[in-house]
């Protein structure tokens, strides 16, 4: 199945009259504080419905798994991943193992999430996103709280996602980093400062 998602005149909170088509590859949502970046991710994920307009969906599993939910604090990292793996039939264990090592997460996987730094929690979400095999991958501020080496890994991961002909990746942040300069975007929603 090829991922397609179309928003037609959607309105929700600060998002008004949004019409766009999301296709495979890498898309970006940029904008200032309170402009609706996370809200748009939640709309794409199906967590919230538009107040008006419609969303037409044609895709399989969606990855939208923020790692900062206090309800997950006591969950062991491996259990957090296992719960999400169960919902993603395309999960690639070799990608998960490779990224766990590359991101320096191996030693943190047996720990509950409350023991992980914000950056390590973010890395856990990135590992899951890359391994999920999801048709639609939604990432909120994936570079936040990461060291420079991990940021380069994220840039590489997203550059590769930009070439996908099957899955759509959407990243939301204030700005796109220089590491993505020249990477073609399928869609760019600029929500303003």
Listed by start position, the domains of the chain span 1-60+163-193, 63-134
Sign for the CA dihedral angle at 38, 33, 186, 170 comes to negative
Give Rg (Cα) of the chain. 16
Distance between CA atoms of 29 and 168, rounded to whole angstroms? 13
| Choices 3.40.640.10, 2.170.120.20, 3.30.70.20, 3.40.50.300: CATH for 1-60+163-193 | 3.40.50.300
Q: Please compute, for residue 57, the number of CA atoms within 13 A of its CA located in the half-sphere on the CB side.
A: 12
Count other C-beta atoms under 10 Å from residue 193's C-beta: 9
Residues 6+ apart with CB under 8 A from 137: 62, 63, 129, 161, 167, 168, 169, 170
Model pTM score: 0.94
Token reading at 125: 């979400």
pLDDT at res. 2: 63
Distance between CA atoms of 88 and 91, rounded to whole angstroms? 6
Determine contact, residues 39/62, Cβ cutoff 8 Å. no
- What does the pLDDT profile of the chain (193 residues) look like in tens digits? 567 788 888 888 888 888 888 899 999 999 999 999 999 999 999 999 988 888 888 888 999 999 999 999 999 999 999 999 999 999 999 999 999 999 999 999 999 999 999 999 999 999 999 999 999 999 999 999 999 999 999 999 999 999 999 999 999 999 999 999 999 999 999 998 8
Distance between CA atoms of 22 and 185, rounded to whole angstroms? 11
């Amino acid at each position: 199945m090829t991922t397609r998602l179309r928003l037609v005149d959607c309105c929700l909170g600060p998002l008004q009259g949004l019409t766009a088509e999301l296709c495979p590859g890498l898309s970006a949502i940029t904008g200032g504080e309170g402009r609706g970046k996370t809200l748009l991710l939640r709309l794409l994920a199906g967590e919230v419905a538009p107040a008006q307009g419609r969303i037409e969906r044609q895709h399989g599993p969606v990855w939208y798994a923020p790692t900062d939910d206090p309800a997950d604090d006591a969950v062991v990292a491996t259990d957090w991943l296992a719960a999400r793996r169960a919902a993603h039939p395309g999960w690639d264990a070799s990608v998960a193992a490779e990224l766990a090592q590359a991101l320096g997460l191996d030693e943190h996987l047996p720990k509950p999430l409350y023991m992980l730094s914000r950056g390590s929690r973010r890395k856990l979400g990135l590992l899951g996103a890359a391994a999920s095999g999801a048709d639609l991958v939604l990432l909120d501020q994936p570079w936040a709280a990461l060291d420079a080496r991990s940021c380069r890994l994220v840039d590489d991961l997203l550059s590769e996602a930009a070439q996908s002909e099957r899955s759509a990746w959407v990243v939301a942040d204030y700005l796109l980093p220089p590491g993505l300069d020249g990477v073609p975007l399928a869609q760019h929603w600029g929500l303003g400062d």
